[in-house]
Structure formats: C-alpha cells, structure tokens
Amino acid sequence: MRKYYTLLKGGPVQKEELLHLHMLMVHIKKYYEAASGDSIDLSRYVGLHVSPVHIHKNKNSHKEALLVLGEEIVGRMRAQKS
C-alpha cells in the first residue's frame, strides 16, 4: 500500500507528484524571469536547501520548498504589477 501525503488540505499527494509540482514551479519561475526580464529574489527558497532533484529529502521538505517558491514568485509578480 502506498503512503500518501495531503497538500494544503486537498486530496492525497504522493512524493513523486510533489517532486513534479516542485519542478514545474521551478520552470514557471524561469519562464517568468525570461519573459519579464525581471529576477525573483529566492533567498528564502535557497535557504531551505531543497531542490526538485533532491529526491532523498522528505515530503515535508519538498512541500515547504514548493510553497515558499510559489510565495516568492507571486510576491514578485504582485510587486511588479504595482
């Protein structure tokens, strides 16, 4: 039986799916930077020392990294929009 993890009170999320979401968020960041010519400050994300290729890290670490990365991307987009 597979172990599941719930992300943000949603349905069950497997670690592999979480890794895919993490990688997708990194691609979104790169796309945004290329399209806008703007760079995103990732100091909080980098400080976590968790990237999508760190498959040995646990699901909680990847969840936190994914959420922090998302917050930093959205925060930059909102700041640029203002």
Percent of the residues in the chain that have a pLDDT greater than 70, as a whole number: 87
Q: How far apart are CA 82 and CA 69, in angstroms?
A: 20
User: Which CATH number goes with the domain that contains 76?
Assistant: 1.20.1270.110
What average pLDDT does the segment 28-50 reach? 96
Q: Indicate if the pLDDT at residue 38 is higher than 50.
A: yes
Q: Indicate if the pLDDT at residue 5 is higher than 80.
A: no
Q: Indicate if the pLDDT at residue 4 is higher than 50.
A: no
* Tally of structural domains, the chain: 1
Residue 40 CB neighbour total at 10 angstroms: 20
Q: How far apart are CA 58 and CA 23, in angstroms?
A: 15
Residue-number span of the structural domain to which 28 is assigned = 5-81
pLDDT-based confidence at residue 13 (cuts at 50, 70, 90): confident
pLDDT-based confidence at residue 68 (cuts at 50, 70, 90): very high
